[in-house]
Amino acid sequence: MHAFLDRLGRLAFRRHWVVAAVWLLILVGVLLLRATVGGDYVTDYTVPGSESSTASDTLSKDFPQQSGTAGQIVFHAHGGTVAAQQTAVNTAVANVGKLPHVIHTVGPFAAPHSPQVSHDGTTAYATMAFDVVPASLDSSYLDRMDTAVKPARDAGLQVEYGGGAGQVGQQTNDLRSELIGLTCALLLLLLMFGALFAAAIPLLSAVFSVGAGLSLVGLFAALTTVPSAAPTVATLLGLGVAIDYGLFLVARYREQRDAGGAPVESAGRATATSGAAIVVAGGTVVIAILGLYVSGVPFVSALGAASAIVVAVTVLAALSLIPALLGVAGKWVLPRRRRTGTAPPVDHENSLFARWGRRVSARPWPWAIGSVVVLLVLAVPLSSLRLGQLDASSNPTTDSSRRAYDLMASAFGPGINGPLVVVAGLSSPNDKSTLSQLQSTLSHTSDVASASAPVVNQSGTTGIITVIPKSAPQDAATTDLVDRIRTDVLPSSHLSAKLTGTTAGYVDFTERVSQRLPWLIGAVVLLAFLLLTVAFRSVLIAAKAAVLNILSVAASYGVIVAVFGWQWGSSVVGIHESLPVPAFVPMLMFAIVFGLSMDYEVFLLSRIHEAYLRTRDAHRAVAIGIGGTARVISTAAAIMVVVFLSFVLDPDPTIKMLAVGMAAAVFIDATVVRLMLVPAVMTLFGDRAWRLPRWLDCIVPHVELEETGPPPEPVAGPPAARH
């Protein structure tokens, strides 16, 4: 691999204009394909084989007029009552019922004394059902809904969309976050390199690779269901790793030039060394993210696939486009003092970070114990983790869905926003009487606000009961109610009954993901362990990386719970209430953060190993490795942190959680883990870190990540300073 990447880097550097043109054609081509045949993003939390999914399928088959995704149109009179504008409301509801993809509508005045009108008469709602996932409908459909309800608004009523109707046309635009992240990254790169061309290269590579990767994700969406959050998550991750990979390659190229290497030779060596580390690191990220398929949930799997596509494209761009851009920039990639030959030589072994590495190595046990204590303290809030699904109450008040939620909760109680639906199979005439008894039992069940009269389909084979909880959809009490109905109430009815509805589906989603999370952790850790064992031919290194990365991930989980659960500083990111953590967030974060941690692990350890192969001095190799990479890793981490934090501007609380959690994880990993814990542990391991048992030596393939060469000159100073 070392020789192949060397040739690739030299070729891309020499034929820089050709390679740059090819990447431009690729970007334009996939953008055009995405615009022509790309699919739409649809958020679907359905869990195949779950009780809610099975019951929903039964409704679609036996009771189609009661199936589909439910939504509400909420009418509110700021003065007087809604009934005073009954004609306008009925017209609006009839207009909505004529829209495509609407299965049926039921207005608030369809029956006398309707429960869809509040006691004070100021709020009423119409129900509707879609034959598609409403989030797949774009803003043009929302315009048609606005036109349909215009008679009610013209009559002076406030009209808002709740439930599935509130998801129509809600595609987010993260351009502002992307611009802020790229601008901050440019400033940090300028500070790092001191040359505009050198700073621009990683950003250009990020724009090309992320743009092409997202277009491929759009094409992937034409083949399968991809969540609407997938482009945002993929962009968040893709920008971070693309800029990081570009930074590592440009830094290594300039280091080779500082050592007297010719431009073409330096490009080849940089691609062969840092490029090999990028292949291993990027491969680890992709493997970790694809591990999300262990969840068995299409929503989570598609999120992982979309992110993996973008990361894979960034790796390809780093290995080919970065050397080409170095060739385009020529001497301008170097700062002015180095172009004129007046800059002093770089001495990594005596740099500030190398001296720090020797300080940690001099007393490894206190640094190791202290770092572990810090990580464990940060992980303490994890004991209060509450998994659940967010409802519209966590949306910003600028969203119609949030305003509809507040109106409904105020007029009818919070449970109206998350109705549960009991679907019962009827095989004999007596079952209808049993269904009525079940309705009575449900209405007297604790935490149930009401249970509607049973409705039976025309063939008399299926009946439904709508249950309104007393608590909000995202409350723990609602989850407990779902479990109690399923385990106690429905079995005692002796009917073939199942519970479905959006809230019940969320409960099934949370349960399935929670059950699969340990399997994901085990699979990702095992695969990463095997990959690092092959990369560094060391069982100790692989085991150490797995343990430290798990500690780092646990600490970042603790930060999420502290901010969004305990509300420590949550107002800074626009959250003003305690929120549960969606079940897929820890799963997605583990895969991403574990992969990103391996990025820094590979880059740091590859330099330490390279120094060890030259010096055969484990303590000195740690200092050289830290001195050669710490500044670059710190800058890369700072870039990732600002890129991730820029996405807290996204209105989706889930994206805010991912942004804060991933920023915290990178910061913790680049400071506590890489600058303290790793050098301390590597010092304690000593020469044993690079040994492989004989029986494994003949099995594990040899992958050359580092280049060997003559040992560096002995460092000046007394031996004690080196150890």
Burial-class residue 701 by CB neighbours within 10 Å (0-12, 13-18, 19+): exposed
* Joined tokens for residue 261: 């290497």
- Is the pLDDT at 146 greater than 90, yes or no? yes
What kind and span of H or E run contains 421?
Answer: strand 420-425
What kind and span of H or E run contains 108?
Answer: none
- Is the pLDDT at 719 greater than 70, yes or no? no
Buried b / exposed e across 50-72, counting CB within 10 Å, b at 16+?
bbbbebbebbeebbeebbbbbbb
* Joined tokens for residue 639: 């870039």
The vertex-171 CA angle with 167 and 174, nearest 5°, equals 140
Mean pLDDT of 110-137: 90
> 67 near 60, Cβ under 8 Å?
yes
> 293 near 304, Cβ under 8 Å?
yes
Q: How many CA atoms lie within 13 A of 289 on its CB side?
A: 27
Q: Is 204 helix (H, G, I), strand (E, B) or coil?
A: helix
Sign of the Cα torsion 395, 400, 403, 409 reads negative
- Residue 348 pLDDT grade (very low, low, confident, very high; cuts 50, 70, 90): low
User: What CA–CA distance (Å, rounded) separates 153 from 75?
Assistant: 9
H helices present in 86-137, as ranges: 86-97
Sign of the Cα torsion 617, 620, 624, 626 reads positive
Using a pLDDT cut of 70, give the percent of the chain over it.
Answer: 95
Mean pLDDT of 648-652: 88
CA 693 from centre of chain: 38
Mean pLDDT of 108-117: 91
Phi and psi angles of residue 449, each rounded to the nearest 5 degrees, phi first: -80, -40
Place of tokens 């005439």: 429
List all residues 6 or more positions away from 549 whose beta carbon is below 8 Å from its beta carbon: 528, 593, 594, 597, 598, 601, 669, 673
Helix axes 584-615, 263-290, angle to 10 degrees: 140
**What pLDDT, on a 0 to 100 scale, did the predictor assign at position 554?**
93
What single string gives the DSSP state of each residue in 228-282?
TTHHHHHHHHHHHHHHHHHHHHHHHHHHHHHTT--HHHHHHHHHHHHHHHHHHHH
Sign of the Cα torsion 464, 409, 476, 68 reads positive
**What pLDDT, on a 0 to 100 scale, did the predictor assign at position 470?**
95
What kind and span of H or E run contains 450?
Answer: strand 448-451
User: What CA–CA distance (Å, rounded) separates 551 from 371?
Assistant: 10
Please give the residue that has the higher pLDDT: either 148 or 257.
Answer: 148
* Joined tokens for residue 416: 């109206």
β-bridge mates for residue 468, sequence order: 450
- Is the pLDDT at 212 greater than 80, yes or no? yes
> 194 near 333, Cβ under 8 Å?
no
List all residues 6 or more positions away from 542 whose beta carbon is below 8 Å from its beta carbon: 528, 529, 530, 531, 532, 533, 536
**What pLDDT, on a 0 to 100 scale, did the predictor assign at position 3?**
84
User: What CA–CA distance (Å, rounded) separates 146 from 92?
Assistant: 10
- Residue 693 pLDDT grade (very low, low, confident, very high; cuts 50, 70, 90): confident
User: What CA–CA distance (Å, rounded) separates 464 from 59?
Assistant: 9
Sheet strands (E) in 60-190: 69-76, 102-106, 123-130, 158-163
Domains detected in the chain: 2-40+172-384+508-722 (no CATH), 64-167 (3.30.70.100), 419-500 (3.30.70.100)
β-bridge mates for residue 76, sequence order: 123, 158
Q: Which of 171, 172, 166 is nearest to 69 (CA)?
A: 166
Candidate from 15-24, 325-334, 533-542, 693-702 with smallest mean pLDDT: 693-702
- Is the pLDDT at 344 greater than 80, yes or no? no
Using a pLDDT cut of 90, give the percent of the chain over it.
Answer: 55
User: What CA–CA distance (Å, rounded) separates 73 from 127?
Assistant: 7
User: What CA–CA distance (Å, rounded) separates 10 from 327?
Assistant: 9
If one counts every other C-beta atom within 10 angstroms of the C-beta of residue 397, the result is: 8
Q: How many residues does the chain have?
A: 723
- Is the pLDDT at 131 greater than 90, yes or no? no
**What pLDDT, on a 0 to 100 scale, did the predictor assign at position 691?**
85
What kind and span of H or E run contains 112?
Answer: none
pLDDT tens digit sequence for 293-338: 888 899 999 999 999 999 999 999 999 999 999 999 988 888 776 6
Q: How far apart are the first and last CA of the chain?
A: 34
Sheet strands (E) in 458-596: 462-469, 496-500
pLDDT tens digit sequence for 563-601: 999 999 999 998 988 999 999 999 988 888 877 777 788
**What pLDDT, on a 0 to 100 scale, did the predictor assign at position 594?**
79
* Joined tokens for residue 358: 């020797």
- Is the pLDDT at 717 greater than 70, yes or no? no
**What pLDDT, on a 0 to 100 scale, did the predictor assign at position 721?**
39
Q: Which of 685, 650, 477 is nearest to 573 (CA)?
A: 650
β-bridge mates for residue 345, sequence order: none
Mean pLDDT of 1-13: 90
Averaged pLDDT score across all residues of the chain: 89
